[in-house]
């Protein structure tokens, strides 16, 4: 049993913070006078990986022992991270999953991992899922899931607490890099990163979803977290490769080649697209000679 005043002891999980920052030679960047640093957030914790640690940690503290409810699709990195946190900290977790039809099928490996980590799954149809931030819909979903008293973390984990948690990522890069590159889903990590960088750093977000809505989202998240705009950031919307979880043979071979060159696994949903954008931008001459770019490795591949 968990008591509602027991703030989970996150330090007991021994996160590796600040995460390692390693220079890594890449001829495709060197040719353009660009120095590459890899910010290895994927090494923060083996199960609470990357930006998921930074976003979840303040929310787990705020949950103070209550059930944590959150939302995600069938392959959500965020759902898996929340489930793992629940197991490690002894917190009950509920995952609200998009797609009523998934309830009828065998669980995919990602959802099976969530269940193995003790997460209770609650499937909802897509139209309910789309309206999940409307108060009346949210209340009905929580009631149906038997989790009315829970700490609610939104889809992708991006709320004001999460964005504040990601500011530390920017602070760790302060004075070390001119530009920080990051893949974006909800934009919460970019919103915090940009706020932490300080006056000499700029952050470039690479959305992996199509739609062109992300700039407004990042501004709204910064407003919620900090009361207004923070830092110098911009987006390059050209590298979504068709949308979330979409890929192309060119992206796949780029990712395999990057793994060989740099001796590290490349997560395909987000990190591969950001790294592809990095090389493409350097080849376009987007970075002045002498620029140091930090590429944030926000996650690691899920191996089942």
Ligand X SMILES: *Cc1c(COP(=O)(O)O)cnc(C)c1O
Residues that bind ligand X (CB under 6 A): 50-52, 77-78, 156, 158, 183-189, 267, 270-271, 298-299
Q: Which is nearer to ligand X, 178 or 267 (CB)?
A: 267
Query: Which residue number is nearest to ligand X in terms of Cβ?
Result: 299
32 φ, ψ (degrees, to nearest 5): -105, 15
Check: CB of residue 161 under 8 Å from CB of residue 59: yes
Strand partners, 183: 206
Structural tokens at position 240: 């979504």
The residue among 66 and 81 lying less far from ligand X, judged by its C-beta, is 81
The minimum distance between CB 97 and ligand X, in angstroms, equals 16
| Residue closer to ligand X (CB basis): 65 or 186 | 186
**Residue 200 main-chain phi, psi, to 5 deg:** -95, 0
Q: How far is the CB of 297 from ligand X (least distance, A)?
A: 8
For ligand X, which is the closer residue by CB, 19 or 158? 158
Query: Is the CA virtual torsion 299, 8, 169, 14 positive or negative?
Result: negative
User: Which CA distances in Å does 46 have to 13, 81, 85, 121, 300?
Assistant: 10, 10, 11, 23, 9
Cα–Cα dist 245/225, whole Å: 28
Q: Which is nearer to ligand X, 92 or 187 (CB)?
A: 187
**Min separation Cβ 235 and ligand X, Å:** 11
């Amino acid at each position: 049993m968990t008591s509602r005043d027991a703030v989970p002891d996150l330090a007991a999980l021994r996160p590796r913070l600040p995460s390692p920052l390693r220079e890594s030679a890449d001829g495709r960047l060197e040719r353009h006078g660009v120095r590459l640093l890899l910010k290895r957030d994927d090494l923060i914790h083996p199960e609470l990986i990357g930006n998921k640690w930074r976003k979840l940690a303040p929310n787990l503290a705020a949950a103070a022992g209550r059930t944590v409810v959150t939302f995600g699709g069938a392959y959500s990195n965020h759902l898996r991270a929340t489930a793992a946190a629940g197991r490690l900290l002894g917190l009950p977790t509920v995952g609200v999953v998009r797609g009523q039809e998934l309830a009828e099928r065998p669980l995919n490996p990602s959802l099976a991992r969530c269940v193995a980590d003790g997460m209770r799954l609650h499937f909802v149809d897509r139209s309910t899922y789309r309206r999940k931030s409307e108060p009346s819909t949210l209340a009905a979903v929580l009631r149906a899931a038997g989790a009315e008293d829970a700490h609610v973390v939104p889809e992708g984990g991006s709320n004001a607490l999460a964005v504040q948690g990601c500011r530390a990522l920017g602070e760790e890069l302060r004075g070390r890099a001119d530009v920080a590159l990051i893949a974006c889903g909800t934009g919460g990590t970019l919103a915090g990163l940009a706020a932490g960088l300080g006056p000499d750093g700029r952050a470039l977000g690479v959305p992996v979803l199509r739609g062109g809505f992300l700039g407004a989202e990042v501004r709204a998240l910064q407003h919620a977290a900090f009361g207004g705009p923070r830092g110098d950031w911009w987006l390059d919307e050209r590298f979504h490769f068709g949308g979330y979880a979409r890929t192309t043979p060119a992206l796949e071979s780029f990712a395999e080649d990057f793994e060989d060159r740099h001796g590290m696994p490349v997560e395909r949903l987000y990190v591969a697209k950001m790294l592809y954008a990095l090389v493409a931008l350097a080849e376009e001459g987007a970075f002045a000679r002498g620029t140091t770019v930090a590429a944030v490795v926000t996650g690691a591949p899920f191996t089942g």
